[in-house]
Amino acid sequence: TSEKMSPYENYIEAAPLNFFLTKVFGIPNHYNSSLAVGIKDILSASMGNLISSAQFNYMFDIPWLVQQYPEQFRSKPLLIIHGSQRADKTTLHENAHRYPNITLCQAKLDIMYGTHHSKMMFLLYDNGMRVVIHTANIIHNDWYQKTQGVWISPLFPKLASDQDLSQGDSVTQFRKDLLEYLGAYGTNKHLQEWQETIRQHDMSSAKVFIIGSVPGRHTGASKMKWGHLKLRKVLQEHGPDGSTVKDWPVIGQFSSVGSLGSGPENWLSSEWLESLSTVQANGIVKLSKPKLNLIFPCVENVRRSLEGYPAGASLPYSIKNARKQQYFNTFLHQWRAFSRGRSRASPHIKTYTRISPDAQYLAWFIVTSANLSKAAWGAYEKNNSQLFIRSYEIGVLFVPSKVEENLKLFNVQGVDSSKDSMLFPLPWDVPLTSYTQTDRPWLWDIAYTDKPDSQGNMWCPS
Ligand SMILES: O=C(O)c1ccc(Nc2c(-c3ccccc3O)nc3ccccn23)cc1C(=O)O
């Protein structure tokens, strides 16, 4: 009951979807008090008495990370899973060397241009464990003035030693899918110990699906395990029915864009949109493909942001790719998050959803590390017989019926307050805001010297 739990714990459990944004420095406190967490909140003793933890990520500032743990937890065993190679790996080892409790684990990246992009925490306490899946690097800037997403699991209790380990999975097979994702890293002693720890915990309270990506050319039974085909498989079995979402748009929101091909039919509006517009397979004839709306900051969104143009250092869309795919601009909408006080907190979160035309209902929602790229989501090869993925990614998919039985949709703007609906805290504003005639998507490798940014500076990348 609430009086027993610490105010913070009470607050976490009170958020039925466990989906938070990170606290932003420099916006009214109201927008940081509800459904917002900082890294110190996540690691705080009010979440549990930490025994050990693991941090999966792309970029790490190790001394800064250690300082984010409460003082009494700073010497607990910490496993860092990264994808750094060569000089970056050497730097990481130099920075970790002085912490005897820190062990480094390099995720294998045998495929060119692949990155270890997944952002996840394992937090083992004396009374259970939590899994946190999020979008922020382990550096100060990513937790300071950006919009980032965080899913914090409920506290997963340890299984009694006599309970057989086949117990303790959820209606979304969360634990099975998490173990399968970890299995893809191959044999690493420390990761295998965490797999054993996970097997010993009851994760039946997890209400989200895992949508992961691992590098490889996935065929046969593995083809639907990862990337956009995992999403397609989950939506075929547990997605909305075709009649409900006929003509509902798909929305993608991200902080980086890959090379998508010379036209929308190469990948974006074909295989990728087909997966995101998958409906429950019950024999209805193929529905018309829905409209696709994309959210990516324009130059003005970046210029006016709290950080100014430097926010664009985390929005790595290159002129080289942009030049090849002008059609991409026709899908674009501005970053606006007035409802969350974050219109000026540049987005590093990545979210994907299917929304009703009046923007009142959601059929499903994903928060993930995956940007809009073939590297992250995968691309068909060999006549659709294999899915080629370059990077590690992980995200969670919210499906109404798995969050609450008989719940068919999430509602968005608190209008439909009838009992059988659940409000979903969207990170960005609906209806979407189009680019103006003069707006251009932010590109990080060209100069902007017409107008100074919110800090009075210009942007002159070398
Ligand atoms: O989430 C994101 O939007 C994200 C996007 C890209 C990324 N890595 C990365 C970067 C880069 C970008 C920004 C600062 C440092 C960088 O190295 N340049 C390339 C080039 C090819 C492949 C990957 N590239 C890392 C993240 C991330 O924040 O994890």
pLDDT digits 0-9 by tens, 160-170: 888 777 788 99
Q: How far apart are CA 203 and CA 186, in angstroms?
A: 23
Is residue 3's pLDDT more than 50? Answer: no
Q: How far apart are CA 89 and CA 188, in angstroms?
A: 17
Which ligand 1 atom sits nearest the alpha carbon of residue 255?
A: 3
Q: Phi first, then psi: what are they for 318, rounded to 5°?
A: -95, 150
Residue 93 tokens, joined? 């080892």
- CA distances 45 to 67, 126, 156, 176, Å, are 14, 11, 16, 28
Residues 313, 316, 320: CA angle, nearest 5 degrees: 130
Binned at pLDDT 50, 70 and 90, residue 74 comes out as very high
pLDDT digits (tens, 9 = 90+) for 86-144: 999 999 999 999 999 999 999 999 999 999 999 999 999 999 999 999 999 999 999 99
Task: Verify whether residue 117 is a known catalytic residue.
Answer: yes
Q: How far apart are CA 364 and CA 151, in angstroms?
A: 15
What pTM does this model have?
A: 0.96
Q: How far apart are CA 272 and CA 378, in angstroms?
A: 9
**Residue identifier of the C-alpha nearest atom 21 of ligand 1:** 113
Crossing angle for the helix pair 189-199 and 174-183, to the nearest 10 degrees:
170
Is residue 7's pLDDT more than 70? Answer: no
Is residue 66's pLDDT more than 80? Answer: yes
**Does 314 contact ligand 1 (Cβ within 6 A)?**
yes
Query: How many angstroms separate the alpha carbon of residue 146 from the centre of ligand 1?
Result: 15
Query: How many angstroms separate the alpha carbon of residue 372 from the centre of ligand 1?
Result: 12
pLDDT digits (tens, 9 = 90+) for 317-350: 999 999 999 999 999 999 999 999 999 999 999 9
Residue 306 tokens, joined? 């709290």
pLDDT at 289: 87
| Amino acid code (one letter) for 41 | D
pLDDT at 415: 53
**Does 321 contact ligand 1 (Cβ within 6 A)?**
no
Contact 432, 251 (CB under 8 A): yes
**Does 350 contact ligand 1 (Cβ within 6 A)?**
no
Rounded to a whole number, what is the distance in angstroms from the first to the last CA of the chain? 57
Residue 350 tokens, joined? 């990545």
Closest CA to 72 of 34, 46, 109: 46
Residue 400 tokens, joined? 């109404």
Q: CA dihedral in degrees (250, 254, 260, 262; nearest 10)? A: 80
H/E segment holding residue 243: helix 242-245
Query: How many angstroms separate the alpha carbon of residue 315 from the centre of ligand 1?
Result: 8
**Residue identifier of the C-alpha nearest atom 26 of ligand 1:** 117
Binned at pLDDT 50, 70 and 90, residue 4 comes out as very low
Contact 135, 394 (CB under 8 A): no
pLDDT at 361: 96
- Give percent of the chain with pLDDT exceeding 90: 90
pLDDT digits (tens, 9 = 90+) for 410-432: 999 655 556 567 899 999 999 99
H/E segment holding residue 70: none
Q: Determine the distance from the C-alpha atom of residue 199 to the mean position of all C-alpha atoms in its chain, rounded to a whole number.
A: 24
Contact 216, 378 (CB under 8 A): no
Which residues lie closer than 8 Å to 283 by C-beta, 6 or more apart? none
Residues 226, 230, 232: CA angle, nearest 5 degrees: 145
**Does 137 contact ligand 1 (Cβ within 6 A)?**
yes
**Residue of 146, 148, 256 best suited for mutating to test ligand 1, as the one with most atoms within 8 Å of CB:** 256
Residue 392 tokens, joined? 């590690």
Closest CA to 280 of 381, 153, 372, 408: 408
Number of other residues whose CB lies within 10 A of the CB of residue 5: 14
**Does 22 contact ligand 1 (Cβ within 6 A)?**
no
Number of other residues whose CB lies within 10 A of the CB of residue 275: 21
DSSP character at residue 43: T
Which residues lie closer than 8 Å to 126 by C-beta, 6 or more apart? 48, 49, 51
Is residue 214's pLDDT more than 70? Answer: yes
Q: How far apart are CA 226 and CA 231, in angstroms?
A: 8
Q: How far apart are CA 232 and CA 238, in angstroms?
A: 10
Contact 46, 71 (CB under 8 A): no
- CA distances 282 to 246, 279, 289, 363, Å, are 14, 9, 17, 17
**Does 310 contact ligand 1 (Cβ within 6 A)?**
no
Task: Verify whether residue 238 is a known catalytic residue.
Answer: no
